[in-house]
Every structure is written in structure tokens, then in C-alpha cells.
Structure 1
Amino acid sequence: MNVRSRVARLRQAYAPHEHRPLGGYLVALGAYGGVIAGLTGVVRATGRPVPHAPSNSDIVLLGIATHKLSRLLSKDAVTSPLRAPFTSYDRPTGNGEVMEQVRDQGSGTRHAIGELLSCPFCLAVWVATGLTGGLVLAPRLTRLVATALTAIAASDFLQLAYASAQQAAEGRSEPAQ
């Protein structure tokens, strides 16, 4: 039995009433494994030391940067051309973000990539892996980029807090009816 027929039988047994692109997920998992193997190979080839444990400040910095870069890549209106081959526009969601739907036509791989690119939670695994690899291979540059992304995330929260406070102040200044 070939791989395609095995995946088809598995998909039918796994989700008989819903389309789940298991083959596409396998491709994505393989690509992720390839990224890990590639990073490992580059680290070994360059002889870069791998820290025993990242510092708490690096964990916080990379965590916030991962959050921001994942949202930027998966939801920002400006990055929608990167997602357009795999998703279709649905509606704006405010604050420069858009809601998109995964394209159903095409291959299971295309569908799986659409799910990955439109989900900040899913994309965070890849972003965190890249930033962590960057911390080993180019720590100064990675910290600089992560610092910029963290500053943008902090700015976003301040913008939202300011807008919320402004709306609350305007609501209180209206005369009671």
C-alpha cells in the first residue's frame, strides 16, 4: 500500500465527516523537522556553543517577540500578500488586523499551510524556533530584532490602553439621560 492510500485511509478513519488535510500536516511536520535538522547542522558546522539554559531575560524577550511576530505574520493587513495564496480575505478585525479563511480548493498541503499562516498560535512554534536558533547563531542580531518586536508589542498594548481610557473618559463626560 502506498503512502497516499495510507493517508487517505487514515484521514477517513480519523475524521470521516470533516476535511482534515493529514497529508498536508505531514508535509508541514516534515518541513519543521527539516528546519530543526538544518539549524542543528548549521550550529554544528559553525561550532557555535549551545547554552545549557537560556537566561530568564532571553525567555521573556523571545516570548514577547514571538507573540508579536506571529501576530504580525498571521493577522496584519500589510502581510496579507504573504498569506493570499493560501487564504482568502474575510473581514477586518480592527487595529490593522484581518480575518482570513483557509482556501479549501487545492492540495492538502496548501490547506495546511493556510492554517499555519493564518493562526498566530500555530505560527508561534515556527517563529520561536527561528528566534531560538537565531539566539545561538547570531545572538546580538537576534536580541536586537527581538527587542524591536518587544517594543512594538508594548506599544500596541499602550495604544489599546490609551484608546480604551479615551473611550471611557468620553463615556463619562456625556450627560446622563
Structure 2
Amino acid sequence: MLISWMELIVISLASFRLTRLIVFDKITEFIRSPFFVEEVEVNENGEEELYYVPKSGGINHFIGELLSCYWCTGIWSAAGLCLFYLQWPAFATPFLLILAVAGIAAIIETIIQRYL
């Protein structure tokens, strides 16, 4: 099944936002926390920096590695959203539009923060 350019853009923006939501956003920290160990290191200025390292061994390590890789999570997010849209377009469309609009807002905010 082929999709239109507009559908591709919406799904792409939705995938971008969903990936950032899963990998970086504070609101989904509860999803990531079972798969990471917090490590504190002191940098050259004497300041403490917090790092999240995937837990060792088994499925926790695998999921931790997946969640720490933006590109890996992006592939799975894109696959899930595409399958959701192709299987149930009527249910997926509102969800995709919300994520796509949020993705555009995130891009605009990044540009404003960087250049203004």
C-alpha cells in the first residue's frame, strides 16, 4: 500500500516526536528508569554529572541499550506508527496528528532557542 506525501510527512513528524518522548522527555522517565543505573561522575570543573547507564545482563540490558539509542528507538517508533496507521487509519490519524503538531512545535522551539 502506498501512502501520499502528506501522510509520509505526518507519520515522520509523529515518529520524531514519539521517539523524543520515549528517549528524552521527563514525563516518560518512569518507562526508562527500570532499565538504567544512575552513575555520578565529577567533571574537570569539580561539578557532578549524572549519567544513565543500561543495566547489565538480560532483557533489561537490551531494552536499556535500545532506549539509550535515539536512532534505534526511532526505527521501532516509526515501524509501530506505520503499522498502526496502515492497519487502523481511522484510529491512528488523530494520534498521529497530535504527535506531528507537537513535533513541529518542538522543531520551532529548538530553532527559537538556538537563534534568538
Normalised by the size of structure 2, how large is the TM-score?
0.79
1:61 equivalent in alignment to 2:13: no
CA RMSD of aligned residues (A): 2.1
Which residue of the partner structure matches residue 140 of structure 1?
90
Corresponding residue of 2:44: none
Q: Name the structure with the higher strand share.
A: 2
Q: In the alignment, what sits opposite 2:106? A: 156
- Give the CA deviation at 1:123: 1.2
Question: Which residues of 2 match residues 40-119 of structure 1 at below 5 A?
Answer: 52-89=1-38, 100-104=52-56, 107-119=57-69
Gaps of 5+ in 2: 41-49
Looking at both structures, which has the greater relative contact order when contacts are Cα pairs under 8 Å and sequence separation is at least 6?
2
Cα displacement string for residues 33-81 of structure 1 (whole angstroms, at most 9, x for unaligned residues): xxxxxxxxxxxxxxxxxxx212221111111111110111011122111
Unaligned residue ranges in structure 1 (runs of 5+): 1-51, 92-97, 167-177
Of all paired residues, the percent bearing the same amino acid is 24
